[in-house]
Structure 1
């Protein structure tokens, strides 16, 4: 425990990098997911095929392979990237592919008669998505997106493989420093601490996801009861 307390500033630096990486990739993944998930529900077959190719490509390729390809391949394209943006880009492309599937499923869960009725009232496609489809899809999307955030947080540990000083990397640095300077190998103690921190944060996000799902389900039931009461009046 003393070793952990003595190296707490380094752990905090790593945890801050991990959380920043998770936030950046969640924002980017959400933007990609909303755009591509919406395009996947349009009637244009070429657009749906392109989105499906993107989604299947980044969901089928192992995430670590994508990160390595970006980090080691970018210099060959004349765009050398530092470790942090390389990992952020790789996670965002993977998260965007999964987010697109979540958004597509959420939009498809909205009754098809509603956008048709909106078109009959003169609303254009942008208004239909903004005013009708996205707000209603949010109920189905939020719990799954909270789960995606937990996966993105866990996947930030892959940044250690390309030199990002995130939480796992910080633990490795503490072990190396202790081995060289103190002649001890505290790997079990340090990695147990890292495991507990990851578990606490990830389980909290999973709990939040379940609570959101239950709350949204109760809200949907109340809306159904209210609609039935109004219809019976």
Structure 2
């Protein structure tokens, strides 16, 4: 552990870069998923078709291939992105494609009579989505989307393959430097710390997901009190 403490500032900078990539990716993916996920349920076939092509394209491409193409192949077309933007863009495209399907599936899981009742009340389309459909669809969206969030956080380690000084990359540099200078290989200790940190971060998101599930489901079935029973 002395090695970790001596290099803590450097390792922490890599962790900060990992969290930065994760934050940018999650914000962009969530925004795109929310907007296009809703549009994927409208009646316009052209809009649904374009969104379908987008989701199928980026879901079918392995994530690492997506990142490599953006970083190594786009310069051939005159588009040179720095490693941070290349990784963030690759994760965002893949994450949003999967997020769109999660949002679309959650919206379509709402019972048909909810839509008909909202139309009968004279609500506008955006009011139906905002006040009726989206709140109910969150019960189906939250668990699946949290799983996607943990995958995106774990996938930030792909930045090490294109030169981003993120958490895994800094850990690898510490291992290589220690091996060369001291003749010992601290891979077990360093990678153990990396594993533990990723476990803690992803566990926090899992706990938040379960908490939100409980809160959303708590309003689903409310017990009838004796007073309400007598009044009815």
Could you tell me the TM-score, scaled by structure 1's length? 0.90
Segment drifting more, 58-67 vs 132-141 = 132-141
Deviations, residues 97-127 of structure 1 (Å, cap 9, x unaligned): 1111111111112222333333344433233
Shift in alpha-carbon separation, 1:190–1:25, aligned structure 2, 3 A: same
* Residue matched to 1:211: 211
Identify which range, 153-162 or 121-130, moves more after superposition.
121-130
Q: Corresponding residue for 1:110?
A: 110
Change (3 A) 1:124 1:216: closer
CA RMSD of aligned residues (A): 2.1
SS in 2 for 1:28: helix
Counterparts of 2:85 and 2:157, CA distance in 1: 14
- Matched residue, 2:148: 148
Q: What is the aligned partner in structure 2 of residue 159 from structure 1?
A: 159
- Measured after TM superposition, the shift of residue 11 of structure 1 is 1.1
Residue 77 of structure 2: aligned partner:
77
Q: Which residue number corresponds to residue 195 of structure 2? A: 195
Structure 2 residue 15 is the aligned partner of structure 1 residue 15: yes
Residue 191 of structure 1: how far off its partner (Å): 0.9
Residue-by-residue CA offset, 1:158-210 (whole Å, 9 max, x unaligned): 11111111111110010121122222221122111111111122122223222
Provide the rounded CA distance (Å) in 2 between the counterparts of 1:76 and 1:119: 51
Alignment of 1:1-233 (within 5 A): 1-222=1-222, 233=232
- What is the CA distance between 1:27 and its match in structure 2? 0.7
Q: Displacement of 1:32 after TM fit?
A: 1.1
Distance 1:185 1:135 in 2: 52
Q: 1:144–1:209: 8 Å Cα contact kept in structure 2?
A: no
Deviation at 1:134, TM superposition (A): 2.1
Residue aligned with 1:42, SS: coil
The Cα shift of 1:225 comes to 5.2
* Length, aligned pairs only: 230
Answer whether contact 1:160 1:169 (CA < 8 A) is retained: yes
User: In 2 relative to 1, CA 62–120 (structure 1 residues): closer, same or farther, beyond 3 Å?
Assistant: same
> CA 1:24 to 1:225, structure 2 compared with 1: closer, same or farther past 3 Å?
farther
**TM-score normalized by the length of structure 2:** 0.90
Deviation readout 1:43-98 (Å, 9 max, x if unpaired):
12232222222212211211000000111122123221001111101111111011
Inter-partner Cα distance in structure 1 for 2:224 and 2:158: 47
Three-state SS of the structure 2 residue aligned to 1:107 is helix
Whether the 8 Å contact between 1:40 and 1:47 is mirrored in structure 2 is: yes
